[in-house]
Amino acid sequence: MVSSISVCIPCVYSHIYLLPRCINSIYKQIILPYEVIISISSVKDVESTKKEVESLLEKFRKRLNIIILYTRENKYSGENRNAAVSAASGDIITFIDADDLMYHNRLYVISRIFSADSSCIGILHYFTENEETRDERWNFSPDNVTPYLYTDKLHFGHPSFRRRIFDEFKYQNTARMQDIKFVDSILPKYISNLRIYNKKLSHYVSNDSAYYSKFKK
């Protein structure tokens, strides 16, 4: 197995109420991460927000090393990802948005892939959205690991990378598509080092998305 995994979670203040759902999905993983880094932006009152978040997440600290970053700045998701990565110390960085959740074999699967393939620098995977219709449970098979081929069915917002990739690349400061742009930026150099896991490892709750929610009435 790889020696350590850091889970990085970008979060805006308006989504802190969703953090327990997300963190609970990490709490139930087959293998636990070395640390969970949450970068929260658009915080008006840091001290009161700290109390609020600690109250929400206190019970998860029994099994998880949770590090929380707070800023009053209004940051897009990519900036929050960069901030969390800068504070992380794991060999592997894996992302999950505050409004989404992991299936409980996700960390185990990515650990297996990175451990078995030293040339692999990044992993993307499939996901369910809103209505959970997962077609497999907790089994891992190397046969489901394939070379990278672009497909819009992959959730670029939930990738996993070796830590060293962030010595060369950062997420862009854009409102949308920064996750896809990040993967696109590394393709010229690392396309042969990316892998796809052809099963579903995350649940994408677009109904709670910070972007899409502003269109709801």
User: Which CATH entry fits the domain spanning 5-211: 3.90.550.10, 3.30.390.30, 3.30.565.10, 3.10.20.30?
Assistant: 3.90.550.10
Cα–Cα distances in Å, from 172 out to 88, 149, 167, 183?
19, 22, 14, 11
pLDDT digits (tens, 9 = 90+) for 90-149: 999 999 999 999 998 999 999 999 999 999 999 999 888 886 665 555 678 899 999 998
Closest by Cα among 180, 201, 166 to 88: 166
Instruction: Give the distance from CA 113 to its chain's centroid.
Output: 17
In the beta sheet, which residues pair with residue 95?
Answer: 8
Domain chopping of the chain, boundaries: 5-211
Please determine, for residue 210, whether its predicted confidence score (pLDDT) is greater than 80. no
Angstrom distance (rounded) from CA 159 to CA 196: 10
pLDDT of residue 156: 79
Angstrom distance (rounded) from CA 140 to CA 124: 15
Mean pLDDT of the chain: 90
Cα–Cα distances in Å, from 132 out to 82, 99, 167?
29, 15, 36
Cα–Cα distances in Å, from 62 out to 20, 65, 181?
14, 8, 36
Please determine, for residue 68, whether its predicted confidence score (pLDDT) is greater than 60. yes
38 vs 156: which has the higher pLDDT:
38
Please determine, for residue 217, whether its predicted confidence score (pLDDT) is greater than 60. no
Closest by Cα among 72, 26, 32, 66 to 49: 72
What's the whole-number mean pLDDT along residues 157-164?
A: 93
List the single range of 19-23, 59-63, 94-98, 101-105 with lowest mean pLDDT.
101-105
The conformational region for residue 85 under phi > 0 = left, psi -120 to 50 = alpha, else beta, is: alpha
The full 3-state SS of 117-133, as one line of letters, equals: CCCCCEEEEEEEECECC
Please determine, for residue 4, whether its predicted confidence score (pLDDT) is greater than 90. yes
Instruction: Indicate yes or no: pTM above 0.85.
Output: yes
Please determine, for residue 212, whether its predicted confidence score (pLDDT) is greater than 80. no
179 vs 19: which has the higher pLDDT:
19
- Which of the four pLDDT bands, split at 50, 70 and 90, describes residue 174? confident
